[in-house]
């Protein structure tokens, strides 16, 4: 048995879902939620971030707006403890040697009121600086701005729903900086002996930045002019909910609004503005050319037929649900019906209240270890055609203690030859393995910045990915592009969007997905390394540990010349990661990148490279094999089948096609061959 450490990890993950928020909810574990019909605010109760906002979402549109909000006072260590609590408020106190800090969160209507009091407990003068951080690095904001009417304030527009942040009693901060973690800096403040200072700010939500601007102007009595823009669709359907932007003549966005039920978008310009602006529809593939607000105020958008741009794709399987990911060509509302297979007369519906392009719909409230049927219906929101999938099925994860054994499949490097990827998928389906999930170690598409390239990937994977969830690692061809992060809802981890690397448990096993593309001199490298060590340390109770990333430690491939991976020391990841793998008892490492099959066994770890998912196969493996190489096979499309039992793993590598001539990669011979088969046994450690 691996050494067992008694560690409990609680992870809360917010995704776009269609559940109904209660008026008031207290979480017993780690968070407290203030909620009404307008917004939900999640506040941490334990740990380093106790007393700070963990999450804010707009309840009208059920869309996450920011990850968290906190403030830092120079020279003061904040250890927040609950002071008072009620249905619509919670307050914290932090008592230090020199200061006592009291913070209250009060939720009213569409606004979270934050009040902080700082008391100097000493008989000497104190100089402090207060910095606040609004973190929205896990979201995909459409637009943000840091100034309004020459005042510093922060307005953030997500796909749907917006957030405003400014001082309660003053129209401007002294300074404000924004990127993916917006921070404000209040200049150094003198706090006299035994004096208490107080500052108030608000976080408020609306549908659009334009609506927030209107509320801001009215609060601080700033004159504004209302601009009305009419939006018409070519097919005569209602344009309600489409997004319109206001921009200057150099195409810098100044404001965002959504069309109302009257087919109008309303903007609010401060003062008697005579500056000419342009407006245009910019809503996925609903687009218009910009027109001047001084001349034409009617926007006419052409609407094409809708279709699944990215076919439905399952991820993030849990005991009570699964996530269905897809993208439509035209933003649309969605209806998903889910049936328990053994009782199809009883079903649940998951409906969206807003039209979106990218959908990551969390199906929740299901039973563990059950088979469900589902149908996705895309409504004719703006188009005149309805989309509907055929009936598909998925299984929820059983409770870990009930999983006596399970299967999973891995294949890598599909890239440009989508028909070959589709063929590998077809063979996995025909073999009727029924894996619990699929592991894919990178290079899913040829060009990660190309929407069309991704569209072909989803089409090729659909026969399998519509019923079996995938867990993916980043390859070099993804180029860490936002398309990857928008397309897949994955378990929360670390790095970009908190899912550049992540982990999950299944039965007696722990799975870690890393990004091997991060450069050694990048600050992210140390962040991932620290996360990896902590994650493995907290997973020692699991019998088997799998680690998945794109670039293998070793290979004999010389397709593009000599490589560091041809040598025993490997590359920088080998140097930094291998000692951690050894220390924490990693059993299996799964890689891609090399378009062949290779297996190494070193330090009681099995290293498997599977790059035969459809990409152009290697022909040159001329480097001398290292002493710990066990097997290699080139020129064959293949996948790897893992069967995980109580104390051993059975692995079979199945070749499904042979490519004789690399100059004609589209020509291949279908085969049915086990090219490698072996067992991995549980490691035994002395305590």
Which uninterrupted H or E stretch holds 547?
strand 544-548
Residue 419 sits at φ, ψ, to 5 deg, of -70, -30
Separation of alpha carbons 94 and 102, rounded Å: 7
pLDDT over threshold 90, residue 30: no
pLDDT over threshold 90, residue 178: no
Separation of alpha carbons 533 and 542, rounded Å: 15
pLDDT over threshold 60, residue 308: yes
- Which residues of 86-150 form beta strands (DSSP E)? 89-95, 99-108, 111-120, 126-135, 143-148
Mean pLDDT of 27-44: 86
pLDDT over threshold 80, residue 5: no
Tens-place pLDDT, residues 516-534: 999 999 999 999 999 999 9
Q: Is the pTM here over 0.85, yes or no? A: yes
The pLDDT of residue 665 is 73
pLDDT over threshold 80, residue 2: no
Most confident range (mean pLDDT) of 7-16, 194-203, 656-665 is 194-203
Least confident range of 17-31, 373-387, 472-486, 499-513: 17-31
Tens-place pLDDT, residues 209-231: 999 999 999 999 999 999 999 99
DSSP 8-state symbol, 3? -
pLDDT over threshold 90, residue 193: yes
The pLDDT of residue 435 is 97
Contact 581, 591 (CB under 8 A): no
Separation of alpha carbons 483 and 613, rounded Å: 21
Q: Express as a percent the part of the chain with pLDDT over 70.
A: 95
Between β-strands 151-157 and 334-340, what pairing exists: parallel, antiparallel or unpaired? unpaired
The pLDDT of residue 183 is 81
Separation of alpha carbons 365 and 348, rounded Å: 10
Tens-place pLDDT, residues 54-106: 999 998 887 789 999 999 998 888 899 999 999 899 999 999 999 999 999 99
Q: Tell me the pLDDT band of 25, cut-offs 50, 70 and 90.
A: very low
The token pair at 570 is: 């490997």
The secondary structure of 356-390 as a DSSP string is EEEEEEEE-S--TT-EEEEEEEE--SSSS--EEPP
Mean pLDDT of 573-592: 98
The pLDDT of residue 569 is 95
The token pair at 290 is: 């910009």
Average pLDDT of every residue of the chain:
91
The pLDDT of residue 684 is 63
Within 13 A of 407's CA, how many CA atoms are on the CB side?
12
The pLDDT of residue 74 is 87
pLDDT over threshold 60, residue 458: yes
Determine the length of the chain: 687
Mean pLDDT of 182-200: 88
Query: Is the model more confident about 442 or about 297?
Result: 442
Tens-place pLDDT, residues 105-149: 999 999 999 999 999 999 999 999 999 999 999 999 999 999 998
The secondary structure of 558-598 as a DSSP string is -BTB--GGGSTT-SHHHHHHHHHHHHTT--EEEE-SSSSEE
Q: Tell me the pLDDT band of 271, cut-offs 50, 70 and 90.
A: confident
pLDDT over threshold 90, residue 273: no
Mean pLDDT of 395-412: 96
Least confident range of 11-15, 240-244, 633-637: 11-15
pLDDT over threshold 60, residue 20: no
Tens-place pLDDT, residues 336-364: 999 999 988 888 899 888 999 999 999 99
The closest alpha carbon to 331, from 284, 272, 262, 370, belongs to 284
The SS3 of residue 452 is: helix
Tens-place pLDDT, residues 607-631: 999 999 999 999 999 999 999 999 9
616: alpha, beta or left? (left if phi > 0; alpha if psi -120 to 50): beta
pLDDT over threshold 60, residue 4: no
The pLDDT of residue 276 is 87
- In this structure, is the dihedral angle defined by the CA atoms of residues 203, 209, 213 and 219, taken in order, positive or negative? negative
């Amino acid at each position: 048995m691996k050494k067992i450490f008694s560690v409990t990890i609680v992870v809360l993950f917010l995704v776009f879902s269609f559940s109904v928020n209660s008026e008031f909810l207290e979480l017993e574990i780690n968070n407290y939620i203030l909620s009404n019909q307008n917004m939900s605010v999640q506040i941490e109760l334990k740990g380093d971030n106790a007393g700070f906002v963990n999450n804010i979402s707009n309840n009208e549109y059920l869309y996450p707006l920011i990850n968290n909000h906190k403030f830092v006072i120079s020279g003061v260590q904040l250890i927040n403890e609950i002071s008072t609590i009620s249905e619509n408020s919670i307050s914290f106190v932090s008592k230090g040697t020199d200061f006592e800090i009291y913070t209250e969160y009060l939720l009213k209507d569409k606004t979270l009121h934050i009040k902080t009091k700082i008391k100097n407990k000493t008989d000497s003068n104190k100089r402090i600086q207060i910095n606040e951080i609004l973190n929205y690095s896990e979201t995909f904001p459409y637009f943000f701005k840091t100034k309004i009417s020459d005042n510093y304030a922060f307005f953030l527009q997500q796909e749907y729903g917006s957030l405003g942040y400014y001082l309660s009693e003053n129209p401007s901060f002294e300074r404000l900086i924004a990127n993916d973690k917006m921070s404000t800096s209040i200049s150094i403040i003198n706090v006299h002996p035994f004096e208490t200072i107080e500052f108030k700010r608000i976080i408020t939500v609306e549908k659009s930045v334009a609506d927030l601007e209107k509320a801001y102007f009215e609060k601080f009595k700033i004159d504004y002019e209302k601009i009305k823009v009419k939006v018409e669709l070519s097919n005569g359907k209602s344009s309600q909910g489409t997004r319109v932007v206001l921009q200057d003549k150099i195409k810098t966005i100044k404001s965002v609004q959504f069309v109302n039920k009257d087919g109008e978008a309303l903007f609010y310009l401060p003062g008697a503005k005579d500056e000419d602006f342009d407006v245009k529809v910019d809503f996925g593939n609903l687009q218009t050319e910009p027109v001047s607000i001084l001349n034409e105020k009617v926007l006419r958008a052409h609407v094409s037929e809708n279709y699944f741009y990215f076919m439905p794709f399952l991820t993030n399987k849990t005991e009570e649900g699964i996530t269905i990911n897809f993208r439509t060509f035209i933003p649309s509302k969605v209806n998903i019906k889910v049936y328990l297979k053994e009782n199809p007369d009883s079903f649940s519906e998951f409906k969206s209240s807003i039209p979106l392009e990218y959908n990551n719909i969390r199906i929740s409230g299901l039973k563990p270890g059950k088979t469900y049927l589902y149908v996705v219906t895309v409504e004719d929101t703006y188009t005149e055609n309805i989309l509907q999938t055929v009936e598909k099925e998925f299984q929820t994860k059983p409770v870990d203690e009930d999983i006596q054994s399970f299967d999973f499949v891995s294949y890598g490097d599909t890239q440009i030859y989508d028909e070959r990827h589709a063929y590998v998928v077809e063979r996995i389906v025909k073999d009727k393995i029924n894996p619990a999930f699929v592991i894919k170690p990178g290079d899913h598409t040829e060009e990660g910045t190309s929407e069309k390239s991704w569209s072909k990937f989803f089409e090729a994977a659909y026969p399998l990915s519509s019923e079996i969830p995938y867990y993916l690692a980043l390859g070099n061809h993804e180029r860490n592009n936002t398309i990857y992060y928008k397309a897949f809802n994955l378990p929360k981890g670390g790095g970009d969007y908190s899912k550049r690397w992540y982990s999950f448990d299944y039965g007696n096993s722990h799975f870690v997905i890393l990004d091997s593309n991060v450069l050694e001199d990048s600050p992210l490298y140390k962040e991932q390394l620290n996360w990896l060590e902590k994650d493995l340390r907290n997973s020692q109770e699991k019998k088997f540990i799998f680690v998945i990333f794109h670039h293998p430690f070793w290979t004999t491939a010389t397709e593009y010349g000599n490589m560091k991976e041809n040598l025993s020391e490997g590359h920088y990841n080998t140097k930094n990661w291998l000692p951690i793998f050894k220390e924490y008892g990693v059993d299996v490492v799964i890689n891609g990148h090399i378009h062949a099959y290779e297996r190494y066994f070193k330090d009681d770890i099995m290293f498997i490279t599977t790059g035969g998912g459809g990409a152009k196969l290697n022909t040159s493996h001329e480097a001398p094999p290292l002493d710990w190489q066990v097997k290699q096979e080139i020129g064959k499309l293949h996948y790897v089948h893992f069967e995980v039992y109580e104390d051993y793993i059975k692995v079979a590598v199945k070749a499904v096609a042979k490519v004789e001539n690399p100059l004609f990669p589209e020509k291949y011979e279908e085969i049915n061959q086990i090219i490698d088969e072996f067992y991995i046994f549980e490691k035994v450690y002395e305590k």
